[in-house]
């Protein structure tokens, strides 16, 4: 059953950008999906219409109290030219978990996925097919009620916008340098860290600027309570290979439940590679480095899929991981995940959804 | 010297609301101030124009990563019918401190105050004069660049909007019931708690709903690290009178530097009432209650000015403060501050600014 959506096609189509020069999240397609919420009527008026600026009251609560959530996923073109999504139901589940934390009314996950499919269907020519490219999908919800009261809004707007994105690794996958952040905090216990909400992201800009000024690509976040346990890297989940075992921080309310993270764990289990989710003291990583047991390290997320870590700076020490080369498990994960996502390899897990 | 602002007057003026039925932050005046920022040109195009919705790209970074800051202050009408601001330079100083934490470019504080004065001058008929009413002023900055990159924007918009607000205490000042929150966290050490940014506010909605469902008016926040020390109450700073001394949590990077907080401390010193800023364990408040030394408790903030606390629930214990009656010091602070703000009492501190 197809959900009913009012579709208004754009009169003029944009010129599609050169896939070679695509940047992340700067170009948007011809159409967008929107739907409104009022506390009386619930979610109403699903429509697909030309991508365009929206009129919003300056008192809209999203501007003042950041009541908003978002998601990020990708559509790929498979070798038969069909559009393929990667585990989209996981993203809509997480959207509703984020909604709950931010006191935003839930969205029907099945309908939302159907709306997305209809939008992708209309925009399928926008999915680039060159190596490493994809159509990035950004669902998001903002509080639109004009009110300065510090309380959940009565009105919201849900959007899905689409952006063709280039390869995260135009010069091939390469390990990056990471700085462990021991002053700034991304998210606290009891805070919003496990929700995909804007405040977690802008809160990290200062730390990112500090890391960049010292020549590092990203920040590794420690827990907000003791500044002792590893949490995330930049806006990705993080994994380490120590003496043959892959470890990643166990989920808590300050760690985002990454869809790529989940897929990595499932893939490792499928391969019979030992993997465990547990609290990881930063000191343990350092000790493993000192004893020569820190074998690989990488981040996982929708944008980069897998991002190898070549160097970790913590206080005054710098740890070189695997001679700054991409490790074997890291490489296999990247290849297998991207091959499944793009339909170039069989998907034994049922992760991909053809449109 | 007056800063140059392009002024476009509204063709049609709105009907001013009945001051008796005014709610907080629901009605806006005829005009607003806006100014744009581009990384090439800096802050440009200051203008006062009719209050109206703005056109914003759905990819504007404020919607995705909540890069935004705001301020809140009030204009009052004094007995001579003149518009009076309360310590506005403190708000613009704090706006720039918030900007710094959120990686937003600074605003010229003197110019901003001048823009505000010109806006108030044009809207002075909107300042209500009934007891307890005022014109609430909301300066704010949002990231407007259309981009999904997780990084500070290159474009921003600064607004000042105005809202006539009714008495916070339409039935007279009365003490409220507060619940100490020991699960959710408003702000972490190293986080954004000392900045006036939206993410700190929507992060508290869940806890507020929990408190309201149990019959409490507000939440008292403990520190995010140990859940041991008192931080704030709702969106106000908090004070206690214990055995003749007034205590309030010392500033740290998770406590907002309230302008009313600062004024309360200065007023108490002026009156030779002992006041100290220090870490306050919640256990100390409980012990003081048990020994009969917890004499008064109140919140301070721009909206309520002073909000007496009549009851504090912590875990399974409920502490009744001063027999649920407003304490003497609490009452004196409320009266003196509101009298100075409205020009009904001499201002020996130079806090008020006539327009």
> Predicted confidence band at A2 (pLDDT cuts at 50, 70, 90)?
low
Angle in degrees, CA B84, B85, B87, rounded to 5 = 140
Residues 6+ apart with CB under 8 A from B215: B177
Domain-embedded: residue B1: no
> Predicted confidence band at A132 (pLDDT cuts at 50, 70, 90)?
confident
CB-based contact, A159 to chain B, within 8 Å = yes
> Predicted confidence band at A246 (pLDDT cuts at 50, 70, 90)?
very high
Choose the final residue of a domain: B142, B165, B188.
B165
**Could you tell me if B209 and B103 lie in one domain?**
no
Give the whole-angstrom CA distance, residue B220 versus residue B238.
9
Residues B245/B182, Cβ–Cβ less than 8 Å: no
**Could you tell me if B28 and B52 lie in one domain?**
yes
Domain-embedded: residue B249: yes
Average pLDDT over residues B44-64: 98
**Which pLDDT belongs to residue B2?**
63
Residue A170 has pLDDT above 80, yes or no: no
The pLDDT tens digits of the residues spanning A190-233 come to: 889 999 999 999 999 999 999 999 999 999 999 988 999 999 99
Residue B185 has pLDDT above 90, yes or no: no
Residue B1 has pLDDT above 60, yes or no: no
- H helix count then E strand count, chain B: 8, 19
Domain-embedded: residue B32: yes
Q: How far apart are the first and last CA of chain B?
A: 14
**Could you tell me if A251 and A310 lie in one domain?**
yes
Give the whole-angstrom CA distance, residue A61 versus residue B165.
17
**Which pLDDT belongs to residue B172?**
72
Residues A94/A196, Cβ–Cβ less than 8 Å: yes
At what angle are helices B88-101 and B259-270 packed, to 10 degrees?
Answer: 130
Domain-embedded: residue A349: no
Give the whole-angstrom CA distance, residue B87 versus residue B225.
33
Domain-embedded: residue A285: yes
**Could you tell me if B16 and B83 lie in one domain?**
yes
**Could you tell me if A190 and A329 lie in one domain?**
yes
Range of the domain at A81: 6-165
Q: Which residues of B touch A25 (CB under 8 A)?
A: 59, 147-149
Give the whole-angstrom CA distance, residue A254 versus residue A256.
7
Domain-embedded: residue A330: yes
Give the whole-angstrom CA distance, residue A58 versus residue A147.
9
ipTM for the predicted complex = 0.96
Q: In terms of pLDDT, which residue wins out, B19 or B308?
A: B308
**Which pLDDT belongs to residue A148?**
96
**Could you tell me if B275 and B145 lie in one domain?**
no
The pLDDT tens digits of the residues spanning B142-160 come to: 999 999 999 999 999 999 9
Q: Could you list the beta-strand ranges (E) of B198-267.
A: 218-222, 230-233, 237-242, 245-249
**Could you tell me if B270 and B251 lie in one domain?**
yes
Domain-embedded: residue A134: yes
Give the whole-angstrom CA distance, residue B272 versus residue B241.
14
Contact flag B102-A202 (C-beta cutoff 8 Å):
yes
**Could you tell me if A191 and A317 lie in one domain?**
yes
Name residues 234-293 of chain A within 8 A of B (Cβ): 234-235
B231 Cα distance to chain centroid = 15
Smallest CA–CA distance, residue B71 to chain A, in Å, is 9
Residues B144/B56, Cβ–Cβ less than 8 Å: yes
CATH number at residue A44: 3.30.470.10
Choose the final residue of a domain: B131, B165, B199.
B165
**Which pLDDT belongs to residue A177?**
95
**Could you tell me if B134 and B68 lie in one domain?**
yes
**Could you tell me if A235 and A122 lie in one domain?**
no
**Which pLDDT belongs to residue A168?**
75
Average predicted confidence (pLDDT) for chain A: 95
**Which pLDDT belongs to residue A185?**
87
Give the whole-angstrom CA distance, residue B266 versus residue B30.
36
CB-based contact, B146 to chain A, within 8 Å = yes
Contact flag A56-B51 (C-beta cutoff 8 Å):
no
Hey, what are A258's tokens? 């990454």
**Could you tell me if B35 and B76 lie in one domain?**
yes
Give the whole-angstrom CA distance, residue B134 versus residue B19.
10
Domain-embedded: residue A270: yes
A175 Cα distance to chain centroid = 19
Half-sphere exposure of A40 (CA within 13 A, CB side): 0
Give the whole-angstrom CA distance, residue A308 versus residue A321.
9
Give the whole-angstrom CA distance, residue B122 versus residue B30.
9
Average pLDDT over residues B4-23: 92
**Which pLDDT belongs to residue A272?**
98
CATH number at residue B250: 3.20.10.10
Question: Structural domain tally of chain B?
Answer: 2
Hey, what are B201's tokens? 């506010």
**Which pLDDT belongs to residue A167?**
77
Average pLDDT over residues A241-259: 96
In B214-276, alpha helices (H): 259-270
Count residue pairs from A and B with Cβ separation < 8 A: 217
Q: Which residues of B touch A188 (CB under 8 A)?
A: 185, 187-189, 191, 224
Handedness of CA B45, B51, B54, B60 (dihedral sign): positive
Choose the final residue of a domain: B109, B134, B165.
B165
Give the whole-angstrom CA distance, residue B51 versus residue B60.
21
**Could you tell me if B138 and B287 lie in one domain?**
no
Q: Which residues of A touch B168 (CB under 8 A)?
A: none
């Amino acid at each position: 059953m197809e959900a009913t959506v009012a579709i208004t096609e754009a009169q003029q189509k944009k010129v599609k950008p050169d896939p070679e020069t695509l940047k992340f999240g700067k170009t948007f397609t011809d159409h967008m999906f929107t739907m409104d919420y009022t506390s009386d009527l619930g979610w109403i008026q699903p429509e697909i219409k030309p991508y365009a600026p929206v009129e919003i009251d300056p008192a809209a609560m999203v501007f003042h109290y950041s009541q908003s959530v978002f998601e990020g996923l990708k559509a790929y073109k498979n070798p038969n030219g069909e559009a393929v999504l990667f585990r989209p139901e996981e993203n809509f589940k997480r959207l509703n978990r984020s909604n709950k934390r931010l006191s935003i009314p839930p969205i029907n996950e099945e309908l939302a996925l159907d709306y997305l499919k209809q939008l992708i269907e209309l925009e399928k020519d926008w999915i680039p097919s060159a190596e490493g490219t994809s159509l990035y999908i950004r669902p998001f919800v903002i509080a639109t009620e004009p009110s300065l009261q510090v309380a959940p809004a009565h009105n919201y707007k849900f959007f899905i916008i689409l952006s063709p994105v280039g390869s995260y690794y135009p010069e091939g996958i390469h390990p990056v340098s990471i700085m462990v952040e021991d002053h700034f905090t991304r998210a606290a216990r009891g805070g919003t860290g496990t929700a995909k909400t804007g405040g977690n992201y802008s809160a990290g800009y200062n730390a990112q600027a500090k890391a960049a000024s010292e020549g590092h690509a990203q920040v590794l976040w420690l827990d907000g309570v003791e500044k002792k346990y590893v949490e995330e890297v930049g806006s990705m989940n993080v994994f380490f290979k120590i003496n043959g075992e892959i470890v990643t921080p166990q989920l808590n309310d300050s760690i985002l439940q990454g869809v790529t993270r989940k897929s990595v764990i499932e893939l490792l289990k499928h391969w019979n590679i030992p993997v465990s989710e547990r609290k990881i003291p930063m000191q343990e990583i350092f000790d493993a480095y000192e004893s020569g047991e820190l074998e690989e390290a990488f981040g996982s997320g929708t944008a980069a899929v897998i991002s190898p870590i070549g160097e970790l700076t913590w206080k005054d020490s710098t740890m070189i991981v695997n001679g700054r080369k991409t490790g074997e498990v890291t490489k296999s994960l990247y290849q297998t995940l991207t091959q499944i996502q793009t339909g170039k390899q069989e998907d034994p897990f049922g992760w991909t959804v053809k449109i």
